[in-house]
Amino acid sequence: NAGVTQTPKFQVLKTGQSMTLQCAQDMNHNSMYWYRQDPGMGLRLIYYSASEGTTDKGEVPNGYNVSRLNKREFSLRLESAAPSQTSVYFCASSEEREGGTRRNQPQHFGDGTRLSIL
């Protein structure tokens, strides 16, 4: 019963380093999302992918890139990490898709990646 799996769970980087956060879901969901959560705040959407092969910017995309590798996997890349990107990153997936009958479906979240940038 894996659901949404994120790796790694913890990471410490130095300013300027790059890394990729991995996310995979086993629910055959169409949509996938990347959020960040800063202390005492709600989640903010970084990027999302409505279907395999498509990606779109969310609320806070600057400094990040994403790849929807296939239907299961959606990765988030930090090309040159900055201390302001220290946060907890959550990946989510949903059956939701535009059009049709799957328009209002819940999102299911992974347990997060805790990223510190020194």
Question: Closest distance between other proteins and the C-beta of residue 58, in Å?
Answer: 5
Residue 42 interacts with other proteins (CB under 8 A): yes or no:
yes
Amino acid making up residue 86: T
What percentage of the chain's residues is helix, strand, coil (to nearest 5)? 5, 50, 50
Q: Is 60 in the site for other proteins (CB under 8 A)?
A: no
CB count within 10 Å of CB 33 equals 24
26 is written with which tokens?
A: 């086993």
For other proteins, the closer CB: 46 or 78: 46
Which of 4, 14, 12 has its CA nearest to residue 35? Answer: 4
Residue 112 in contact with other proteins, rule: CB under 8 A: yes
Give the range of 18-26, 63-71, 75-83, 86-94 binding other proteins by CB under 8 A: 86-94
Contact (Cβ atoms closer than 8 angstroms) between residue 35 and residue 26: no
Give the x/- contact pattern for other proteins in 5-34, rule: CB under 8 A. Answer: --------------------------x-x-
Q: How far apart are CA 81 and CA 64, in angstroms?
A: 9
Binding-site ranges for other proteins (CB under 8 A): 4, 31, 33, 35, 42-43, 45, 48, 50, 56-59, 90, 92, 94, 96-98, 103-112
